[in-house]
Amino acid sequence: MQVSEVRRARAAALSIASSLGLRADDAVVLHDSNKLTLRLLPCDVLARVAPVADQVARFEVEMAQRLNEVGCPVAVLEPRVEPRVHERDGFVITLWTYYAPVTPSEVSPADYAHALARLHAGMREIDVPTQHFTDRVEQARRLVADRDRTPELADADRELLGDTLRELRRVIGERGGAEQLLHGEPHPGNLLSTGNGLLFIDLETCCRGPVEWDLAHAPEDVGEHYPGVDRELLRLCRILVLAVITAWRWDRDDQLPNGRRLGTEWLGQMRAALDREP
C-alpha cells in the first residue's frame, strides 16, 4: 500500500478493534502488499486490512470457519469478537488470532507434507463453490497477452510465457484425474510454525484442482512425503506454477520488491525446466 493508505488502514483497524471492546493503542505492520497485516497491541490481535473493493475477505472468513470446524490446520479468527468482515474508511478488516512465532527452525518436508495432507483431507469434507485453478492460469495468460499491462516483457519472453501457460493448462487438463478443494497457494510464506503446530493462512486463494497443484507451491522435497502423488503431473504443475508467478512479476502494477529481477530469474528457470521435458 501507499504510505498514505497505510496510515489510514492502521487507523481503521485500531478504530474497529476499539469499537469491539479490544484495547488497541498501537498497530505494528507485519506485512505490506495488496493487503496490510497488522499486530494490534496490547490486545494482541492480528488484523488483515484490504481496500473495500476486495470482497474476498468474506470468502476467507467463511473458509476459515468451515475448515476449523472439520479440524484443518488453519489459523483461526479472533475468538473474542464476532467472526465477520468489518468496514471502515474504505477498507475491509478481519480480525484473527495472533500466533507468536516459535524458535526459528526449518520445517521438515515430512511435517510440511503431513500438514498439507491434513488440510486436503478436511477440504474434502466441505463443499464450497470456488474457481478452478485453470481460471488463475487463464488470468496470467491474459496478462501476458496484454502489452499495455506488461510493457517491459520482451517479445520472445512474451511468446514463450504465453505458449507455456496455454499448452500446460491444456496438457494437465487432458490428463484428467481426481480434483478437490485446494488451498491454492500453500507456499512457505503461507505456513506458520506456531506453538499449536503448523498452520496455513491466506485462504482467499482456495480453488479446485488436483492436489499436485498445491504441492507445486511447496518445496520440492515435500512431494516425496505426500501419499499417492502423480509424479509426472506434479512436475508439469511445478512448471505451470512457475509460469503463473513469473507472469505476475511483469505486471506494470506489481508491487513486489525486486519483482522484475525475479521475473527475469524465473524466466530462466522456466526455460531450463522446459528443456528437460520430453
pLDDT digits (tens, 9 = 90+) for 247-278: 999 999 887 888 999 999 999 999 999 998 76
pLDDT at 14: 97
pLDDT classification of 199: cutoffs 50, 70, 90: very high
Question: What whole-number distance in Å separates Cα of residue 3 and Cα of residue 23?
Answer: 25
Number of alpha helices (DSSP H) and beta strands (DSSP E) in the chain:
8, 9
pLDDT at 277: 76
pLDDT at 54: 62
Q: Are the beta carbons of 222 and 160 closer than 8 angstroms?
A: no
Question: What whole-number distance in Å separates Cα of residue 247 and Cα of residue 249?
Answer: 5
Question: What whole-number distance in Å separates Cα of residue 211 and Cα of residue 229?
Answer: 8
pLDDT at 255: 79
Closest listed residue to residue 187, CA positions, set 226, 151, 213, 224: 213
pLDDT classification of 3: cutoffs 50, 70, 90: confident
Question: What whole-number distance in Å separates Cα of residue 169 and Cα of residue 32?
Answer: 31
pLDDT at 1: 64
Does pLDDT of 71 surpass 70?
A: yes
Number of residues assigned to the chain: 278
pLDDT at 2: 72
Closest listed residue to residue 209, CA positions, set 247, 164, 252, 244: 244
Average pLDDT in the 89-117 region? 91
Closest listed residue to residue 204, CA positions, set 66, 13, 57: 57
Q: Are the beta carbons of 93 and 85 closer than 8 angstroms?
A: yes
Does pLDDT of 235 surpass 80?
A: yes
Average pLDDT in the 140-169 region? 97
Q: Please state whether the predicted TM-score (pTM) of the whole model is above 0.85.
A: yes
Q: Are the beta carbons of 166 and 141 closer than 8 angstroms?
A: yes
Q: Are the beta carbons of 267 and 154 closer than 8 angstroms?
A: no
C-alpha cell at 168: 500446460
